[in-house]
Structure 1
Amino acid sequence: MPFPLRFGANYVPAEGWFYSWLDFSADAARRDLADLAGIGLDHIRIFPVWPWIQPNRALIRQRGVDDVLALIDIAAEFGLDVCVDLLQGHLSSFDFLPSWVLTWHRRSLFTDRDVRDGLAAYVDRLAREVATRDNVFAVTLGNEVDNLFPANGTTPDASSAWAAELVEVARAAAPRLLVLHSLYDAAWYDPGHPFHPADTVGLGDLTTVHSWVFNGVSALDGPLGPATVSHADYLVELAAATSADPARPVWLQEVGAPAPDVPAADAPAFVRGMLDLVTANPALYGVTWWCSHDLDRSLADFPEREYDLGLFTVDHRIKPATRELAAVIAEHRRTGGARQGDGPGRRPALVCEADLAAEPGRRGEVAPGSPFHAEWVRLRRSGPVAIVTKARSADTAHLEARGIDTVLTQA
């Protein structure tokens, strides 16, 4: 059944970055969210900083929780729905971890039983609290929690058990909300990574992917080359192909135009090209841009590309790329968001020899620049192209459910 696409932004406060949680300002938040509502977005994803809410394993600060609820209520004033990321965790190259897992207390988030019990208490409390707000539609366990490895040792089995446990805690606490497990793309491309594709497509209520072209894609053919512009669609297709459920939606939960991979002069064309491709994908649930506002250059020690990723500058000026995003959103709203697969339109699929869910050690075979990726990019230049695993390539019900009419093999 077709569903309307969602368009949103990962909310990064213009004033003070995420440090603003330390002295939350409702007025500053209102100004930021007015920017986002003004370009037609329907949701934001927010990032409470975990150690500032749970500074001790046995202490969850109500004041911190109340600030999260206040931001959610402000979002409602602007007609914005909210996804709450629970465990921060990792943000823009910094890890935020409480003292009770560091120094003399050093222990892994993923394997230590006491830490996992503390996390379960935190997830339960925050999920229950935010579920009291009608405009909250989802919670994510954390922002790219696999970035917390290797500082927190884990194994594939421990990673999977950790996520499965917390997904169930969140579901029990907030049964009406979508519960999600979010990972960066090493889970898809790195053969040795201890977080596996099977968990991204098997845990939680839908699959999330984060598409960043600084992972080597842009080096293949430049900022506006077909590999770069189609990378988001490629990740959505990998996720759809890996899922046992052909109807499982995929949320492009982070995508951006990072410099220098995508220079400012090319950013509007990148936005248009990337969205034209990925929004045709019938598996796509929504697109959430990283990020809402730039990072103030008075703040030190961030990677250079982090400072200019916003839709708006720190003084609330709109960017050319943002105008392009707003135009795409308006077009989708006018047309009702019709996509490939909603009606009679069909598409071919390229067979992937590797089943990433069952064979994570073969992830390198689909990484950017691999022969499989190159062939998919070549085919994608002529129109939408699905990906299907070899095991499902003769499953007519699966093919029909995903709108696939022709199966192609790699040249």
Structure 2
Amino acid sequence: MTTQHPGPAALRFGANYVPSSGWLYSWLDFSADTARRDFEDLAGLGLDHVRVFPIWPWIQPNRSLIRRQGIDDLLELADVAAEFELDVAVDLLQGHLSSFDFLPSWVLTWHQRSIFTDELVRAGLSAYVDQVCRAVATRGNVFAVTLGNEVNNLWPANPTGAGASSEWAADLLAAARTAAPDLLSLYSLYDAAWYEPDHPFHPADAVRLGDLTTVHSWVFNGVSAVDGPAERPLGPATTSHADYLVELAAAGSADPLRPVWLQEVGAPQPDIPAGDAAAFARLMIDQVAPNPALWGITWWCSHDIDRRLADFPDREYDLGLFTVDHRRKPLAEQLARSVAELRTGRTLAHGRPAVVLEADLTTQPERRAEVAPGSAFHTEWVRLRQAGPTAIVPAHRAADPAYLAARGIGTVLAATT
């Protein structure tokens, strides 16, 4: 598929769909009417898409059994979304969601198979990817499939190395493209891939595999601590982190026009106090929206988790734009305002300065700590970003005028690391 590069009018806005009733356990007794009520909420904010999460072991409970009913429920969900003119991105491998891992019994117990390295698991997964992709491709409002939600969260319980994880993703993306050539095929990793030197999932794969790059921006990864005491919850490191990750991703790609999807961003407590969530959303969007690489923003998440459900980390319960009884939060009102403003026009940050990154994360992943929250490079970028949009350029492209022009970079500043 030829990826449409982003432009002033092309920014997408959506929500990661967490059902208001029963969380994602609701797949066990799917209700189109419940989904209809939830999607009415989201469409009312002016959003144009949802990212949805079928649960892998409930569709493929045995390596040789893929349940048609599970796929049909997913298709019905896509049809309900279409009633509200919402496009759908489908995550295939769940995998990891809201601190819980969902793995089928045929990779657990006495089997003890790593999903990343075992050939039998790979074959089973390929069949699953093939069947689900062929099914969802029949729906005109489905535009993308992602291998799974932050699949690197499944390591180290599923041992792997850098070579194996790369091969795993490449093989399954090829299966997805073969089954659904008109859909975007994507790869999702949480930010250990960008920040942890020994992590076996690498930035090179994040920016090379899939039709565009996805990033997930969560300020509890250390960024909120950079901004100091609790009385400063909306400091510059916190509000600019999404833009920072988009910049790292753009700088890491060999293609200067490769789009970056901010596929997850939210306002987790206590890092972002509930009373500051709306302000955080406004500041975060204001900073990331001008980035020429940005393809879209998908908020985590649509609805809160009912506190009658046990054992979630406390921050997971209140991340929704809506409460479980469909009440809009001030956060949702702010998101709707930002969406409306950016629908009328988006000014891209062309001619911006760029700071040089000496560490090439795609070839030197062992240097990832040099860009992690609180590092000297991150600290300097945050300082510069306070004066306006600031790009990141890899040292080996810093004197390439065609590359700089393609990324909207006007001047190159001295290297900081």
Q: TM-score, normalised by structure 1?
A: 0.98
**Structure 2: which amino acid aligns with 1:386?**
A
Q: Deviation of residue 2 (structure 1)? A: 4.4
2:324 to 314, 318, 325: 314
Deviates more, 1:216-225 or 1:11-20: 216-225
Matches for 1:26-41 after TM superposition, within 5 Å: 26-41=32-47
What is the aligned partner in structure 1 of residue 348 from structure 2? 339
**Structure 2: which amino acid aligns with 1:360?**
P
Distance in 2 between residues matched to 1:73 and 1:190, nearest whole Å: 40
Whether 1:404 and 2:409 are equivalent positions in the alignment is yes
Whether 1:283 and 2:293 are equivalent positions in the alignment is yes
Distance in 2 between residues matched to 1:73 and 1:384, nearest whole Å: 40
**Structure 1: which amino acid aligns with 2:263?**
Q
2:111 to 92, 105, 110: 105
Identity of aligned residues (%): 72
Q: What do the CA deviations read for 1:29-48 (whole angstroms, capped 9, x no partner)?
A: 00000000000000000000
**Structure 2: which amino acid aligns with 1:316?**
H
Whether 1:147 and 2:153 are equivalent positions in the alignment is yes
Distance in 2 between residues matched to 1:386 and 1:394, nearest whole Å: 14
Whether 1:224 and 2:234 are equivalent positions in the alignment is yes
Q: Is the 8 A contact 1:185 1:211 kept in 2?
A: yes
Whether 1:68 and 2:78 are equivalent positions in the alignment is no
Q: Deviation of residue 339 (structure 1)? A: 2.0
Q: TM-score, normalised by structure 2?
A: 0.97
Q: Is the 8 A contact 2:186 2:210 kept in 1?
A: yes
**Structure 2: which amino acid aligns with 1:334?**
T
Q: Is the 8 A contact 1:372 1:410 kept in 2?
A: no
**Structure 2: which amino acid aligns with 1:157?**
G
1:356 to 350, 354, 361: 361
What is the aligned partner in structure 1 of residue 141 from structure 2? 135
Distance in 1 between residues matched to 2:321 and 2:121, nearest whole Å: 37
Distance in 1 between residues matched to 2:247 and 2:290, nearest whole Å: 11
Q: Is the 8 A contact 1:223 1:229 kept in 2?
A: no
Q: Is the 8 A contact 1:353 1:390 kept in 2?
A: yes
Q: Deviation of residue 82 (structure 1)? A: 0.2
What is the aligned partner in structure 1 of residue 125 from structure 2? 119
- Paired residues in the alignment total 406
Q: Deviation of residue 338 (structure 1)? A: 3.0
Q: Is the 8 A contact 2:53 2:94 kept in 1?
A: yes
Distance in 2 between residues matched to 1:209 and 1:388, nearest whole Å: 18
Q: Is the 8 A contact 1:147 1:184 kept in 2?
A: yes
What is the aligned partner in structure 2 of residue 384 from structure 1? 389
What is the aligned partner in structure 2 of residue 13 from structure 1? 19
Whether 1:77 and 2:83 are equivalent positions in the alignment is yes
Whether 1:368 and 2:377 are equivalent positions in the alignment is no
Distance in 2 between residues matched to 1:106 and 1:385, nearest whole Å: 47
Distance in 1 between residues matched to 2:378 and 2:170, nearest whole Å: 30
**Structure 2: which amino acid aligns with 1:198?**
A
SS in structure 2 of the partner of residue 125 of structure 1:
helix
Q: Cα RMSD (Å) of the superposition?
A: 0.7
Structure 2 stretches of 5 or more lacking a match? none
SS in structure 1 of the partner of residue 201 of structure 2:
coil
Q: Deviation of residue 390 (structure 1)? A: 0.6
**Structure 2: which amino acid aligns with 1:401?**
A
What is the aligned partner in structure 1 of residue 282 from structure 2? 272
SS in structure 1 of the partner of residue 110 of structure 2:
helix
Matches for 1:158-307 after TM superposition, within 5 Å: 158-221=164-227, 222-307=232-317
SS in structure 2 of the partner of residue 247 of structure 1:
coil
Hey, which bits of structure 1, 4+ residues long, moved more than 6 A? none
